[in-house]
A and B are shown apart, each in its own frame.
Chain A
Amino acid sequence: QQPVQSPQAVILREGEDAVINCSSSKALYSVHWYRQKHGEAPVFLMILLKGGEQKGHEKISASFNEKKQQSSLYLTASQLSYSGTYFCGTEFGNNDMRFGAGTRLTVKP
Chain B
Amino acid sequence: KAGVTQTPRYLIKTRGQQVTLSCSPISGHRSVSWYQQTPGQGLQFLFEYFSETQRNKGNFPGRFSGRQFSNSRSEMNVSTLELGDSALYLCASSLGRGLTYEQYFGPGTRLTVT
* Other-chain contact of A87, B43, B99, B104 (Cβ < 8 Å): B43
Query: B82 → chain A, closest Cβ, in Å?
Result: 21
A residues contacting the other copy or chain, number (CB 8 A):
25
The CA-CA distance from A44 to B43 in the complex, in Å, is: 14
The CA-CA distance from A96 to B48 in the complex, in Å, is: 8
Contact A101 B108 (CB under 8 A): no
Contact B35 A47 (CB under 8 A): no
Query: What sequence of 0s and 1s flags, for each residue 29-51 of chain B, a beta carbon within 8 Å of any chain A beta carbon?
Result: 00001010000111111001000
* Other-chain contact of B42, A2, A47, A49, A91 (Cβ < 8 Å): A2
Q: How large is the interface on B (under 10, 10 to 19, 20 to 34, 35 or more residues)?
A: 20 to 34
**Residues from 30 to 53 in A contacting B, C-beta threshold 8 Å:** 30, 32, 34, 40-44, 47, 49
Number of cross-chain contacts by CB at 8 Å: 60
Contact B108 A95 (CB under 8 A): no
The CA-CA distance from A99 to B102 in the complex, in Å, is: 14
Query: What sequence of 0s and 1s flags, for each residue 3-46 of chain B, a beta carbon within 8 Å of any chain A beta carbon?
Result: 01000000000000000000000000000010100001111110
User: Given A42-B90, A44-B104, are A99 and B99 also a contact pair (CB < 8 Å)?
Assistant: no
Residues of B in contact with A (beta carbons under 8 Å apart): 4, 33, 35, 40-45, 48, 55-56, 58, 90, 92, 97-100, 102-108
